[in-house]
Amino acid sequence: MTFSKLQKIVLASGNAGKIKEIQAILTGHPIVPQSLFNVAEADETGTTFVENAIIKARNAALHCNLPAIADDSGLVVDALNGELGVYSARYAGMGASDSDNVQKLLQALEGVPETQRTARFICVMVFMEHADDPLPIIAQGSWEGRILTQPVGSNGFGYDPVFFVPDYQCASAELSPELKNSLSHRGIALKKLAEAIKARELL
């Protein structure tokens, strides 16, 4: 099954920052957030990024009757045995703000030396042609860094203010949106996803 480049693709997210990043990379394709269709966000009951991304893509495709893209991403901190993982967005509890999550992370790492504060952002992106797509396209990206002891910068969202990027000697929140998109876990995963979609002549 193929579809027109003019056909809309629904993005299974209501996160404004995430939508902006994805639209910046998938230029030329009509990407619309599921909120335009009044679709409730799916319950992320999976224990892995892949499971949750598929759950969200299937939910969006089902309720919007459109092809769907979804991602599940999070921060993996070595000193915390791989936390925060799939719970990154709700690390400080359901409904927690970005600031709440960041402060809880900093408290959890209090006293941990710089050399042991290594971490990485992980993103898994999924494209489904329809809700019953038996072969969703799955792409993954990762971004290595470490956790700072206090937030800096005003760009980005989530844990960007405390995620130090060694190659640029600054926090992710200090990078321009364009540079961040070229480096980030989401940017890497999305580029891989776009290439795989085009290879199957779906876009």
b/e code 29-65 from CB counts within 10 Å (16+ = b): bebebbeeeebeebebebeebbebbbbbbbbbbbbbe
More confident of the two residues 84 and 156: 84
Q: What gap in Å lies between CA 125 and CA 72, rounded to an integer?
A: 7
Domains in the chain, CATH or no CATH each: 9-199 (3.90.950.10)
pLDDT at 4 exceeding the cut of 70: no
Q: What is the pTM of this model?
A: 0.86
Average pLDDT over residues 1-7: 54
CB 33 within 8 A of CB 19: yes
Confidence of residue 201 (pLDDT cuts 50, 70, 90): low
> How much is the pLDDT for 1?
44
Q: Which residue numbers are catalytic?
A: 72
Give the whole-angstrom CA distance, residue 18 versus residue 158.
10
Q: Judge whether 84 and 74 are in contact, CB under 8 Å.
A: yes
pLDDT tens string 59-79: 999 999 999 999 999 999 999
Task: Check: CB of residue 59 under 8 Å from CB of residue 38.
Answer: no
What HEC string does the chain produce? CCCCCCCCEEECCCCHHHHHHHHHHCCCCCEEEHHHHCCCCCCCCCCCHHHHHHHHHHHHHHHHCCCEEEEEEEEEEHHHCCCEHHHHHHCCCCCCCHHHHHHHHHHHCCCCCHHHCEEEEEEEEEEECCCCCCCCEEEEEEEEEEECCCCCCCCCCCCHHHEEEHHHCEEHHHCCHHHHHHHCHHHHHHHHHHHHHHHCCCC
